[in-house]
Amino acid sequence: MATPIIMPRQGNTVESCIITKWNKKVGDPVAVGDILFAYETDKASFEEEAKEAGTVLQIFFAEGDDVPCLTNVMVIGNPGESFAEFDPNAGSAAPAEAAPAAETAPAGEAKAEAEETAEAPVILGEMKISPRARNLAEKSGADLSKVVPTGPDGRVIARDVQKLIDSGLLVTAAARAGYQGGVEGTGLGGRVSLRDLEKKPEAAEAPAAAAAAPAAPVELGVPVDDSYTEPMSNMRKVIAKAMMASLSSMAQLTHNISYDATEVQNARKLFKEKGEKFGMERISINDIIMYVVARTLAMPEHKALNANLIDDGKTMKYFRGVHLGMAVDTDRGLMVPTIFNADKMTLKELSATAKRLAKECKEGNINPDYLRGASFTVSNIGSLGIESFTPVVNPPQTGILGVCAITDGVRVENGEIKVYPKMTLSLSYDHRALDGTPASKFLVDLKNNLEAFTLMLARG
């Protein structure tokens, strides 16, 4: 029996995924456990394994297509089996092509065509098209740049669109937004896909030009354009959009404070040297900071920073628990998984959770549900030697803490100059949600709690 394979839903908030690679083609045998295709959300990549054996009967989407979750993407079964019932595009085509002349068409089709041509046409650019034809084109993805009108006064009617469908002159759902016509499709059945749109016309001409004339020698000091372009990744586009939205929609301000990291460093040294039998030898300074941040945010006087500003800045959404976002650098870009209820975790639990989420981010297989829902974020770039920076708030959150490098600080004690380990903390916050004084009080409380970390840890 033929079995459809659907696009999985990776998390409750994911509505669609992009197919990045097909590992099978029509006619290929499939064994249980074979990788059928790879796909990605805007944050993570996944592979779909076959759960049944058989033969690939049909593939409904091309690489680069953005496919709604739970939609059939392919069918596996026995050769010769019918799969039409599983085709997600089956309902988009008209049942039959109308005859070119009314006198040879059946009475029902002739009547339908007469009704269609009587309707006021829709103007698309310089094209006149009937409402029925336009609806059929939108549902099927027909490439209207290749249509031949046969209706009255050069109007495009349904049978013209149906000819495009029957000829395979289609554009994939993912490519439609940026398609302007004139592109030959290389996707399934000749569909125009995202990959076709990304191809540069000059790229095909470059080898011929290079063969026609040898490369000129490089002359130092002479102006030259040696730049090249690459399309931004889907994840980079999402990050860019989020950063622009943050800086253009918020009244952001940053405060900085430094604290004496002696207590934190001593605790880290103790965990490393004697924590193995307690399973705490891998606890890092960042784990300690996040532990203290979570408990400081849980203080009632700091609820404005453990919150989201929603409804276009009209409503404050406060959280009973601290859901701590943790910035993680990956090969694909910055990701921010959430440690839910971080204020209720032990240091050991928080450390283990943070390491698990960071590993899943770097491997590209994190559940997207963990990439949302944070009430506050911590971004630590101290390992890179950065002494101060301005972190950007991740909306709709109201604050983000930047953690900087430990440097040598100098102060006077009893008339003597003392050197101590100093770490700077940079708090960016949304001035619409809170004023400078409560933001500063949070930093002061955080400083005091970090400098008294052992007592805070003992208190639990």
pLDDT in tens, 203-235: 444 454 445 556 566 778 888 787 888 877 766
More reliable by pLDDT, 348 or 240: 348
Q: What are phi and psi of 98, to 5 degrees?
A: -70, 150
Token match 């940079």: residue? Answer: 426
Q: At what angle do helices 436-451 and 285-297 cross, to 10 degrees?
A: 130
Q: Is the pLDDT of residue 359 over 60?
A: yes
Least confident of 14-18, 48-52, 324-328, 449-453: 14-18
More reliable by pLDDT, 344 or 93: 344
Looking at domain 236-459, does it have CATH number 3.30.559.10?
yes
Three-state SS at 453 = helix
- Rounded mean pLDDT of the chain? 84
* Distance of alpha carbon 83 from alpha carbon 58, whole angstroms: 8
Q: At what angle do helices 107-118 and 158-166 cross, to 10 degrees?
A: 120
Token match 């009547």: residue? Answer: 111
* Distance of alpha carbon 4 from alpha carbon 76, whole angstroms: 6
> Residue 209: what pLDDT?
47
Sheet holding 399-413, edge to edge: 252-260, 416-430, 399-413, 376-380, 324-326, 338-339
- Token pair of 199 as six digits: 């191809």
* Distance of alpha carbon 148 from alpha carbon 199, whole angstroms: 26
- Token pair of 109 as six digits: 């089709």
As a residue count, the chain comes to 460
C-alpha distances out from residue 208 to 147, 212, 226, Å: 32, 6, 19
Give me the amino acid identity at 271: F
> Residue 196: what pLDDT?
65
268 and 285 Cβ atoms separated by less than 8 Å:
yes
The domains of the chain are located at 3-88, 102-170, 236-459
Would the pTM count as exceeding 0.75? no
Q: Is the pLDDT of residue 139 over 80?
A: no
CATH number, domain 102-170, options 4.10.320.10, 3.50.30.30, 1.20.950.20, 3.40.250.10: 4.10.320.10
Architecture of the domain delimited by 3-88: Beta Barrel (2.40)
Neighbouring CB atoms inside 10 A of 213's CB total: 7
